Structure 1
Amino acid sequence: MPPSETKRRDWAGLGDGLTGMIADRVLAYDVADYLRFRAVCGPWRRCCADPRAHGGLDRRFHPRRWLMLREPRERIDAPNRRRFLNSSTGECIQVHLPELHNQEVLALTAEGLLVVLDWPRSTKVQLLNPLTRHVTQLPPLTALVSHQGNDCLLFTAAFDTHFPAWGSGVLSDDSTVALSFNRLNILGMAKPGDDHWTVLEFRNPLQTASSMVAGRFYCVTIDGVMVLEDQPPRLELAARLPMPVSPTSDTVHLMDNAGELTLVHRRFSRHHDNNNMAKRRYDVYRLDPGAGTLCRVNSFGGDGHALFIGMYCSLSVPTKIFPSGSIRGDTVYLSFDIAERNKTEGYHLADRSAISSDILNSRSALQPHNLVDCLSLCTTGRIWCHFEKHLVSRCR
């Protein structure tokens, strides 16, 4: 057909019904694509629900596939710009967030939201959706600070970690936010509009980070894996630990692995290396909520996942979305705040082999230079500049 006879397609005039159906399907997959869809033209935007017109706890608009990456140094040219990685596609985007100016990010929730604190000027807490820019006001941390007594030094010390409230998130009732400070062994619960947080304590905690899985909060004590129940708020036993855990030398790490609660037990092995130094082992368990048991596993699932564990933060990522060979499946990678990271980058479950690393002779001591470094940095607990200074001093 000659170009002159080609009919121009009126994409803007698809009609409310068809446009709305497409928008609903796009939103069901990813809110970032939904925002791009709304931005195409005015008629499409008028057929789509405005995310900011709905409550900040509306799960339809949560960026649950997006992880905020950690910068190795402060970006002087754009201090309020952050990079986000899509854990399903590997796409990386930059977002300008003026709401983060002079704010402390306490946590990334399992829904992709940011828990933001106006510290040290005040204890006001906000829940920020980094893609829709929707801000939800939460009660100040007054109750949590006062729970530590008049001396706030311990509370301030908890901020000497990256994402000090890791494991926080929106509970399954879609109206309650759980705010977990693992170093303080306390958990706060509140709804938007509340004037204070309800405070719970972790009794007999182990060295661990808490985790949110499918809207449920989990932590680990010497009694076992505990799950948060409401009415009244309390921690109940979800599964006993099938192995002995030393509260002084071992650590346990919880994370959401493709919808399943996974626990990594970091312990000393009976075997020693050539220098007669005790080796670390990493045993992995999966929670069977129906049976109330932890089952030992040697794989993270057939679709291929890798775990990145730190002293305070841990996460699971699918390997298939990244370039071949950049990340090994069924592997536990160590963050920079774990002592053996200077010699061991990771641990492969299938053959129990270690991936060697020497960060003191690597550019990663100054800046992450590959994908493993980047994701390891995301789960590093200590503030990066403190860690970097420590490395530089050791290299001199």
Structure 2
Amino acid sequence: MDRRFHPWRWTMLKEQLTTPDRRCFLNTSTGECVKVHIPELHDHRLLALTPEGLLVLVHDCKYIRLLNPLTRHLTHLPPLTKLLPPEDHHKLSEDYICFDVEFRAWGSGIANDDSTVLLCFNKLCIIGMAKPGDDSWNLLTYPDGTTMAALMFQGRFCCVNRSGVMVLEMGAHQPPHLKLAAKLSMRVSPIADSVHLINKCGELMLVHRRCGRLTARNKSGRRYDAYRVDFDSGTLFPVKTLGGTAVFMGLYCSLSVPLGGFPSGSLSADTIYLRFDIRERMMLKAGAYHLADTSVQLPSSLVPRPHTLIDCLSFSKTVSE
């Protein structure tokens, strides 16, 4: 498996005037930008970016490939027809209007055996597991109600359900299954709240987005409580700091950003910035949440294209290291 893009902590920027087959990647550790020619984007759809820096692509709504955008190495995987039951094959069509929604693949990546690819479709509540050269996917279905922000953390698939943080176990002598790794220590409303997993520089964090009280410092009515996931004790520990980093949090994926590679004052430490798919950001009520004093910073505007560094990172397609 070609993973030479892995040392980067990077995000693919949204550019309004970009050519169809070129993308700009921002190294969030150094602030360096690289433009990459990706001719596969002419006839493939981009489903997700993996923590290893690989692009999850689909051709003709069926054929899954992993592309390393720097080395041009392309890995072929079993088609989606080997993952979905026959009664769902009608979804694998250009005419199926919900394809781009149901087949978002955030949470996909390479398992810690360095050869198994995990393909996650959270809307469909399925995980497919396969190695290059396999003819079919090993399928795991899981109950609805799991957080949309599933992710790969240190080669392990993680998500959240009503019980807590779940981790995918893949043993040689038992079928793949989700195992409870840390219990939830708070009540989560399935209607009003959301839960987000974030890889903060090698440490797994959980953010509980919930309703709060309207105050002079917080007119959005939202709180964002942060917790550190402790796998040894199986518990969540509340924190008031992100270790000096900033987090850009979206419904489907989030990104932690160290401040050292960017101009002083362009980002605030220990701050959760809301991406443009978060409702309160769209309603111009909350742009950033400062953990230390629980204050909310209003967004400057709802812009149709990025203008500032914060806008660029809020619009970007993100992965964590």
The question of a shared fold, defined as TM-score above 0.5 by the shorter chain, is answered with yes
1:215 corresponds to 2:155: yes
Question: Using CA pairs below 8 Å that are at least 6 residues apart, which structure has the higher relative contact order?
Answer: 2
Is the alpha carbon distance of 1:243 and 1:317 closer, same or farther for their aligned partners in structure 2, counting shifts above 3 Å? same
- Residue of 56, 71, 75 corresponding to 1:115: 56
Is the alpha carbon distance of 1:157 and 1:217 closer, same or farther for their aligned partners in structure 2, counting shifts above 3 Å? same
Q: Which runs of 5+ in 2 are unaligned?
A: none
Matched with 1:387 is none
Contact 1:126/1:136, CA 8 A, preserved across alignment: yes
**Partners of 1:140 and 1:299 in 2: how far apart?**
43
**Partners of 1:236 and 1:148 in 2: how far apart?**
29
Higher strand share: 2
Moved over 4 A (4+): 153-156
**Partners of 1:153 and 1:134 in 2: how far apart?**
25
Matched with 1:375 is 313
SS at match of 1:340: helix
1:347 corresponds to 2:289: yes
1:143 corresponds to 2:143: no
Show CA shifts across 1:166-221 (max 9, x none): 11110000010111112222111111011111221222423431011111110001
- The amino acid across from 1:350 in the alignment is A
Contact 2:47/2:105, CA 8 A, preserved across alignment: yes
- Residue of 221, 226, 245 corresponding to 1:279: 221
1:84 corresponds to 2:25: yes
Contact 1:255/1:316, CA 8 A, preserved across alignment: yes
1:160 corresponds to 2:160: no
Give how far 1:105 is off.
1.1
Higher helix share: 1
- The amino acid across from 1:356 in the alignment is L
Contact 2:220/2:285, CA 8 A, preserved across alignment: no
Is the alpha carbon distance of 1:238 and 1:147 closer, same or farther for their aligned partners in structure 2, counting shifts above 3 Å? farther
**Partners of 2:20 and 2:168 in 1: how far apart?**
36
**Partners of 1:326 and 1:251 in 2: how far apart?**
28
SS at match of 1:291: coil
- The amino acid across from 1:227 in the alignment is V
* Pairs aligned (count): 310
**Partners of 1:309 and 1:370 in 2: how far apart?**
17
Matched with 2:67 is 128
- The amino acid across from 2:51 in the alignment is A
With normalisation by structure 1, the TM-score equals 0.73
Contact 1:108/1:166, CA 8 A, preserved across alignment: yes
SS at match of 1:228: strand
Contact 2:219/2:285, CA 8 A, preserved across alignment: no
Trace 1:305-316 onto structure 2 (pairs within 5 A): 305-316=245-256
Give how far 1:378 is off.
1.6
Trace 1:183-332 onto structure 2 (pairs within 5 A): 183-231=123-171, 232-269=175-212, 271-272=213-214, 279-301=221-243, 304-332=244-272
- The amino acid across from 1:234 in the alignment is H
With normalisation by structure 2, the TM-score equals 0.90
Is the alpha carbon distance of 1:150 and 1:175 closer, same or farther for their aligned partners in structure 2, counting shifts above 3 Å? closer
Contact 1:308/1:379, CA 8 A, preserved across alignment: no
Is the alpha carbon distance of 1:165 and 1:74 closer, same or farther for their aligned partners in structure 2, counting shifts above 3 Å? farther
Is the alpha carbon distance of 1:340 and 1:309 closer, same or farther for their aligned partners in structure 2, counting shifts above 3 Å? same
Q: Which runs of 5+ in 1 are unaligned?
A: 1-54, 381-396
Is the alpha carbon distance of 1:146 and 1:305 closer, same or farther for their aligned partners in structure 2, counting shifts above 3 Å? same
Give how far 1:87 is off.
2.3
Is the alpha carbon distance of 1:284 and 1:148 closer, same or farther for their aligned partners in structure 2, counting shifts above 3 Å? farther
Give how far 1:254 is off.
0.8
SS at match of 2:84: helix
